[in-house]
């Protein structure tokens, strides 16, 4: 399980990753926003998963980077139970404007998988919050590990970055894996009637999971 920021230890990468392929992908979002990305795939990632790095805009010496964990329900189906879809849309445009990479990581449900995430949703409907639902299923509050992300950034030559994230654990893990996080740039707060409890829980965190440092006001405030 990821450790709080102040407890992160420096640890060596398990080995180098190599670029497997590069391919151009024109992206079009539901609101009409269009941008061209260069998708990178990799050999040798620590967890063996099919993570992607999307290069957007003109990449400079300290690129803007977003680690985005896969969310089928939010990214593809448009679910309002989380803020993942709007965060993905926001990140693509901001990175394209600034120049950098969006790492699309196959870590559904904070690393617990799609079916377990849906089981956790059912428990949330009975009154548990997102972290309580995970632990009730015998799963970690947040099971994500960013070793593969650090490998990808090293391979891309992006060892000094500006990190687009509200989550201090992402910065802490990357730092422990040899990535210099020059700045953590906050994302927007995408609040709806359906995700206000989810965002409030994310903002507060738990003893094991750091809060995200965001303010959640009532819808319409």
Active site residues: 142, 144
Q: Whole-angstrom distance between the N-terminal and C-terminal Cα of the chain? A: 36
Contact predicate 13/4, CB 8 Å = no
Phi, psi values for residue 102, rounded to 5°: -105, 115
> Closest Cα partner for 82 from 168, 189, 171?
189
The DSSP code for 48 is: -
The DSSP code for 6 is: G
Which residues are registered as beta bridge partners of 38? 24, 55
Order the strands of the 160-164 sheet from edge to edge: 18-28, 34-43, 52-56, 100-105, 64-69, 160-164, 180-185
């Amino acid at each position: 399980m990821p450790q709080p920021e102040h407890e992160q230890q420096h640890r060596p990468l398990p080995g180098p990753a190599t670029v497997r392929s590069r391919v151009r992908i024109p992206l079009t979002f539901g609101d009409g926003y269009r941008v061209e990305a260069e998708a990178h795939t990799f050999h040798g990632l620590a967890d063996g998963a099919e993570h992607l790095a999307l290069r957007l805009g003109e990449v400079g010496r300290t690129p803007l980077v977003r680690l985005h964990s896969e969310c089928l329900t939010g990214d593809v189906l448009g679910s309002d139970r989380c803020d993942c879809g709007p965060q993905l849309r926001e990140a693509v445009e901001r990175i394209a404007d600034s120049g950098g990479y969006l790492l699309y990581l196959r870590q559904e449900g904070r690393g617990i998988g799609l079916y377990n995430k849906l089981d956790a949703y059912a428990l949330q409907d009975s009154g548990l919050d997102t972290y309580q639902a995970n632990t009730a299923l015998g799963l970690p509050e947040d099971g994500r590990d960013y070793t593969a992300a650090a490998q990808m950034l090293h391979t891309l030559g992006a060892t000094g970055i500006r990190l687009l994230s509200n989550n201090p654990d992402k910065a802490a893990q990357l730092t422990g894996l040899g990535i210099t996080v020059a700045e953590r740039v906050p994302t927007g707060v995408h609040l709806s009637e359906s995700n206000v409890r989810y965002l409030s829980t994310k903002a507060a965190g738990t003893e094991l999971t750091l809060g995200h440092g965001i303010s959640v006001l009532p819808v319409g405030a």
